[in-house]
Amino acid sequence: MSSSPADLVRAFHLAVGLDARSTPTEVSPELAAQRGKLLAEEAAEVAEVSVGGPLDQLAHELADVVYVAYGTALVHGIDLDAVIAEIHRSNMTKLGPDGRVARREDGKVLKGEHYEAPDVSGVLRRQGWSPYGE
Ligand SMILES: [Mg+2]
């Protein structure tokens, strides 16, 4: 079995009886809120240890965020790997043809003239999502 985060988290959800969907689906508001709260809690734990560490705790909390994010995607039937690939494709268009990037004074990478926004809706549609009852 592959040890990608998506596969590991799916195995966990199936083992403990958590939801696991294979097509992008709007879930009940209660379930959606529960998943959002879990992720917010884990993100807050990252913030707590971001500056002061220790490094092993930061690593732990970062992994928790990714694990819960993959779990939340799975609950909603979203193939998160495909979404990440689309975000990456878009981010790489921030590079100019000369391979350089424009940066703000604080170092943030700016969107250049060749930038293409990610088409997350298109990714979900290819996974079988029909928004708004289309
Ligand atoms: Mg945690």
Distance in Å, CA 64 to ligand 1 centroid: 5
Q: Which domain holds residue 74?
A: 1-78
Q: Are residues 112 and 50 in the same domain?
A: no
103: helix, strand or coil: strand
Residue-wise pLDDT for 81-129, tens only, equals: 999 999 999 999 988 888 888 788 898 888 888 899 999 999 999 999 9
Question: C-alpha 39: how far from its chain's center?
Answer: 11
Q: Beta-strand (E) ranges in the chain?
A: none
Q: How far is the CA of 103 from the centre of ligand 1 (A)?
A: 33
Q: Please give the tally of structural domains in the chain.
A: 2
Q: Of the residues 61, 78, 95, which one is the last residue of a structural domain?
A: 78
Half-sphere exposure of 80 (CA within 13 A, CB side): 19
- Predicted TM-score (pTM) of the model is 0.89
Q: Report pLDDT digits (tens) over 5-48.
A: 999 999 999 999 999 999 999 999 999 999 999 999 999 999 99
The full DSSP string for 73-97 is: HHHTT--HHHHHHHHHHHHHTTS-T
